[in-house]
């Protein structure tokens, strides 16, 4: 198994979010936007399970990939203390990424909080000629990766809950305005459930297809344990399916938000 | 592999090339892990818990991390026994490893149906799950009293055309009493332990972490309890025991064999390390080579007290 890699760089993006650059030609080459990796935090059983993290961006020439990680609890805390040269145990890339269809000429990505991370490589890789990004943060101090996003799209909108930066309000309000201006061919959403749910409902009214990236607590990360499920439609019925294997990216009309 | 040592064991008529089996519910139907290692390496595979009809399982979140372990509340999500027979057995039979079908039900009739159906299928053994803590009916409610176990096992034994392993719950006062009831009712072997009923609370939100509120504890945290129970049961019954609970490496496996298990199952450890099963087999081989043990059967019940 090829799962031990070297950390090339670690840098803080704001008070509680950092970027890890990791050396792996295989993952850099193989990873598709929206896919995740399963990361071991420390060596012992103190933090027992791996942590699912989205691939934020890849450098296929250098053979490295970036993870943007927010410190939430003990696992992400351990990762934040890792230094260049340290070895890290990572399984991946895992799951299904976003759909990049050449016929989609105009796309919009919508991200909230840590949900913005998988959208960066999506913007870089998507063949569309008009790409917009709408990113939401709680306040000004949490705004990160602004330049990276700006360079990877044709129009960046930032919203903050308190209006301390960009527009005050929800990303879905901006989405509505943009959709009303001109219908996109496809929208990609990643962030809090309420945001994705509101986005999916809005886009349904305009008949715009969309994809969402789901989050759930995980065990194995590869589809075997059935712990990481979300509800999806199945014919006239529904079923629980693995976020790690069938997702994390799902079609917006497939997921049942309840 | 060292050709002078033999890892082969026979558990109640099920021939295993080595005593390491993937535990039910942690290995799906083998497809996922087959991308990480050669399933031919395994002694056997206990598949995800099956029921008569497909089951949707419990609402998420279904997993919570605990110190050196996890709680799960999957609740027997599975495609039903027919889908298993049609779609999964042909895949699993592509490998030289024993197939153990893990069966659950709500009623004794369900268990009878499962055992009869699986006896006609191309598998090597049936593991009767009388111990799932995550479903309301059946399972642990039969498995937590000696009378309940005796009744279910003696009824299904009449339908069994394959070796019958009864999987025991640790959520009882005296597990030896339960194991004796299984043996008296005709079980060919017992496997233990299933998960320990537990719960996790998020102090910040004041809510339970699991969608089902309670769940089953597994992983290294339960190993001492599991070892103790295997040891007690080995003194109480004469049928073979398959031991499990927190096994992560070869040394752990040796400990269970010494306590009286004829084979071991491993589940949770594979979530962290997909190579855990293979590494455990290798660790066992190394232990045997270093300690000049020719056959793994010499270790079974070899505890010095
Ligand atoms: C598909 C997917 C992609 C993700 N991508 C990113 C990303 O790119 N950047 C980032 O910062 N975070 C991401 N997350 C969230 C990240 O996995 C959690 O923040 C992290 O697991 C928390 O671990 P901890 O030890 O710091 O927190 P603790 O609270 O100590 O963790 C305890 C347990 O809960 C689990 N857990 C806690 N919060 C979450 C959560 N939100 N989602 C899933 N499991 C959780 C942990 O994995 C662990 O098993 C992603 C989650 C998923 C499911
Ligand atoms: C996610 C999960 C699902 C499980 N599902 C089943 C099941 O369907 N049937 C069963 O008999 N045991 C099930 N178990 C219990 C395991 O087979 C095993 O008894 C227990 O996890 C202890 O072993 P371990 O510590 O090696 O995981 C499950 C355990 C986990 C963690
Ligand atoms: S985490 Fe095991 S199935 Fe998704």
Residue B28 within any structural domain of the chain: yes
Q: Tell me the per-residue pLDDT of B54-97, one tens digit each, with 9 for 90 and over.
A: 999 999 999 999 999 999 999 999 999 999 999 999 999 999 99
What pLDDT sits at residue A147?
A: 95
Crossing angle of helices A193-205 and A171-181, rounded to 10°: 20
Instruction: Pick the atom of ligand 2 nearest to B244's CA.
Output: 23
- The residue segments making up the domain with residue B259 are 9-298
pLDDT reading at B1 higher than 60: no
CB < 8 Å to A45, chain B: 67-68, 219-220
Q: How confident is the model at residue B2 (pLDDT cuts 50, 70, 90)?
A: low
pLDDT reading at B254 higher than 90: yes
Across residues B260-289, what is the average pLDDT?
98
Looking at every residue in chain B, the average pLDDT score rounds to 96
DSSP character string of B4-22: T-B--EEETTEEESSSEEE
Instruction: Pick the atom of ligand 1 nearest to A56's CA.
Output: 8
Determine which residue's CA is closest to atom 2 belonging to ligand 2.
B25
Give yes or no for residue A110 CB within 6 A of ligand 1: no
**Whether this model's pTM surpasses 0.90:** yes
Q: Can you tell me the distance from the alpha carbon of B183 to that of B147, in angstroms, rounded to the nearest whole number?
A: 12
In terms of C-beta density within 10 A (0-12 exposed, 13-18 middle, 19 or more buried), how is residue A209 classed? middle
Residue B304 within any structural domain of the chain: no
Among the partner-chain residues A91, A217, A226, the one whose CB lies closest to the CB of B61 is: A217
CB atoms within 10 A of CB B136: 10
Determine which residue's CA is closest to atom 4 belonging to ligand 2.
B25
pLDDT reading at A134 higher than 80: yes
CB contact under 8 A, A225 and B219: no
Q: Which two tokens stand for residue B9?
A: 């064991």
CATH number of residue B83's parent domain: 3.20.20.70
Give yes or no for residue A226 CB within 6 A of ligand 3: yes
Q: Can you tell me the distance from the alpha carbon of B212 to that of B133, in angstroms, rounded to the nearest whole number?
A: 11
Q: How confident is the model at residue B4 (pLDDT cuts 50, 70, 90)?
A: confident
Residue B1 within any structural domain of the chain: no
Q: Tell me the per-residue pLDDT of A13-58, one tens digit each, with 9 for 90 and over.
A: 999 999 999 999 999 999 999 999 999 999 887 899 999 999 999 9
Give yes or no for residue A241 CB within 6 A of ligand 3: no
Across residues B247-252, what is the average pLDDT?
98
pLDDT reading at B133 higher than 90: no
What pLDDT sits at residue B213?
A: 97
CB contact under 8 A, A219 and B70: yes
What pLDDT sits at residue B141?
A: 78
Residue B291 within any structural domain of the chain: yes
Q: Tell me the per-residue pLDDT of B182-218, one tens digit each, with 9 for 90 and over.
A: 999 999 999 999 999 999 999 999 999 999 999 999 9
Looking at every residue in chain A, the average pLDDT score rounds to 96
CB < 8 Å to B212, chain A: none
User: Among A215, A220, A55, which Cα is nearest to B32's?
Assistant: A220
Instruction: Pick the atom of ligand 2 nearest to B246's CA.
Output: 25
CB atoms within 10 A of CB A127: 12
Give yes or no for residue A242 CB within 6 A of ligand 3: yes
Q: How confident is the model at residue B122 (pLDDT cuts 50, 70, 90)?
A: very high
CB-based contacts of B292: which residues, under 8 Å, 6+ apart?
none
A211 CA to middle of ligand 1, Å?
A: 21
Mutant choice from B25, B28, B267 vs A, greatest count of A C-beta within 10 A: B28
CB contact under 8 A, A50 and B272: yes
| Omega prior to B193 cis, within 30 of 0 | yes
Q: Can you tell me the distance from the alpha carbon of A11 to that of A164, in angstroms, rounded to the nearest whole number?
A: 24
Residue indicated by tokens 């939401």: A136
CB < 8 Å to B70, chain A: 48-49, 219
Q: How confident is the model at residue B135 (pLDDT cuts 50, 70, 90)?
A: confident
Residue B162 within any structural domain of the chain: yes
Q: How confident is the model at residue B138 (pLDDT cuts 50, 70, 90)?
A: low
CB atoms within 10 A of CB B173: 7
**Which domains, ranges and CATH numbers included, belong to chain A?**
4-94 (2.40.30.10), 106-212 (3.40.50.80), 214-258 (2.10.240.10)
Q: Tell me the per-residue pLDDT of A181-224, one tens digit each, with 9 for 90 and over.
A: 999 999 999 999 999 999 999 999 999 999 999 999 999 999 99
Residue B164 within any structural domain of the chain: yes
Q: How confident is the model at residue B282 (pLDDT cuts 50, 70, 90)?
A: very high
B76 CA to middle of ligand 2, Å?
A: 10
pLDDT reading at A176 higher than 80: yes
What pLDDT sits at residue A7?
A: 97
Give yes or no for residue A46 CB within 6 A of ligand 1: no
- How large is the ipTM? 0.95
- The DSSP secondary-structure symbol of B273 reads -
What pLDDT sits at residue A186?
A: 98
Q: Taking a C-beta distance cutoff of 8 angstroms, is the pair A80, A13 a contact?
A: no
B266 CA to middle of ligand 2, Å?
A: 8
Query: From the CA of A60, how many Å to the nearest CA of chain B?
Result: 24
| Positions of B marked catalytic | 132
- The number of distinct structural domains making up chain B is 1
Compute, in degrees rounded to 10, the torsion defined by CA atoms A35, A38, A39, A44. 180
What pLDDT sits at residue B304?
A: 96
CB < 8 Å to B61, chain A: 216-217, 227
Give yes or no for residue B51 CB within 6 A of ligand 2: no
Q: Tell me the per-residue pLDDT of A93-114, one tens digit each, with 9 for 90 and over.
A: 999 999 999 999 999 999 999 9
Q: Which two tokens stand for residue B158?
A: 């009449």
Q: Half-sphere exposure of residue A235, counting CA atoms within 13 Å on the CB side?
A: 1
Residue B303 within any structural domain of the chain: no
Query: From the CA of A109, how many Å to the nearest CA of chain B?
Result: 27
pLDDT reading at B21 higher than 60: yes
pLDDT reading at B154 higher than 70: yes
Residue B170 within any structural domain of the chain: yes
A76 CA to middle of ligand 1, Å?
A: 8
CB < 8 Å to B33, chain A: 222, 224
Q: Taking a C-beta distance cutoff of 8 angstroms, is the pair B43, B96 a contact?
A: no
Instruction: Pick the atom of ligand 3 nearest to A220's CA.
Output: 2
């Amino acid at each position: 198994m090829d799962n031990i890699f070297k950390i090339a760089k670690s840098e803080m993006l704001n008070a509680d979010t950092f970027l890890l650059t990791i050396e792996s030609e295989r993952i850099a080459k193989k990873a598709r936007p929206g896919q995740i990796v399963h990361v071991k935090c420390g060596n012992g059983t103190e933090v027992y399970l791996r942590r699912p993290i989205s691939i934020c961006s890849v450098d296929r020439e250098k053979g490295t990939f970036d993870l943007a990680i927010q410190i939430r609890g003990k696992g992400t805390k351990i990762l934040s203390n890792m230094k260049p040269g340290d070895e890290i145990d990572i399984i991946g890339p895992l799951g299904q990424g976003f759909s990049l269809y050449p016929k989609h000429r105009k796309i919009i990505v919508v991200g909230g909080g840590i949900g913005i991370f998988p959208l960066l490589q999506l913007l870089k890789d998507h063949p569309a000629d008009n790409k917009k990004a709408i990113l939401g943060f709680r306040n000004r101090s949490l705004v990160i990766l602004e330049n990276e996003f700006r360079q990877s799209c044709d129009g960046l909108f930032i919203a903050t809950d308190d209006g301390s930066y960009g527009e005050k309000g929800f990303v879905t309000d901006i989405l509505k305005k943009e959709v009303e201006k001109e219908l996109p061919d496809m929208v990609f959403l990643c962030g809090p459930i309420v945001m994705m749910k509101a986005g999916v409902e809005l886009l349904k009214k305009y008949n715009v297809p969309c994809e969402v990236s789901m989050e759930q607590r995980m065990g194995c990360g590869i589809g075997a344990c059935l712990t990481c499920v979300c509800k999806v439609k199945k014919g006239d019925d529904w079923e629980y399916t693995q976020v790690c294997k069938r997702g994390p990216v799902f079609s917006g009309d497939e997921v049942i938000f309840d | 592999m060292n050709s002078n040592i033999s890892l082969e064991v026979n558990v109640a008529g099920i021939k295993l090339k080595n005593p390491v089996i993937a535990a039910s519910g942690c290995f799906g139907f083998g497809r996922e892990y087959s991308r990480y290692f050669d399933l031919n390496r395994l002694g056997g595979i206990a598949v995800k818990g099956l029921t008569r009809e497909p089951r949707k399982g419990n609402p998420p979140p279904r997993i919570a991390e605990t110190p050196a372990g996890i709680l799960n509340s999957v609740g027997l999500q599975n495609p039903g026994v027919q889908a298993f027979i049609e779609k999964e057995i042909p895949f699993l039979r592509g490998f030289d490893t024993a197939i153990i079908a893990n069966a659950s039900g709500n009623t004794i009739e369900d268990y009878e149906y499962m055992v009869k159906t699986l006896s006609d299928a191309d598998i090597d053994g049936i593991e009767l799950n009388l111990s799932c803590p995550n479903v309301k009916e059946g399972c642990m409610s039969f498995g937590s009293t000696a009378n309940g176990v005796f009744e279910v096992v003696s009824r299904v034994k009449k339908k069994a055309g394959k070796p019958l392993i009864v999987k025991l719950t640790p959520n009882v006062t005296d597990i030896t009493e339960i194991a004796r009831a299984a043996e008296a009712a005709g079980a060919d072997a017992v496997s233990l332990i299933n998960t320990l009923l537990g719960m996790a609370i998020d102090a910040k939100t004041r809510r339970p972490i699991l969608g089902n509120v309670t769940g089953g504890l597994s992983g290294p945290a339960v190993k001492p309890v599991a070892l103790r129970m295997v040891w007690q049961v080995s003194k109480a019954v004469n049928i073979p025991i398959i031991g499990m609970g927190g096994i992560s490496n070869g040394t752990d496996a040796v400990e269970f064999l010494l306590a009286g298990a004829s084979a071991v199952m491993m589940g949770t450890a594979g979530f962290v390390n997909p190579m855990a099963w293979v590494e455990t087999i290798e660790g066992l081989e190394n232990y045997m080579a270093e300690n000049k043990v020719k056959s793994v059967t010499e270790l079974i019940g070899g505890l010095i007290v």
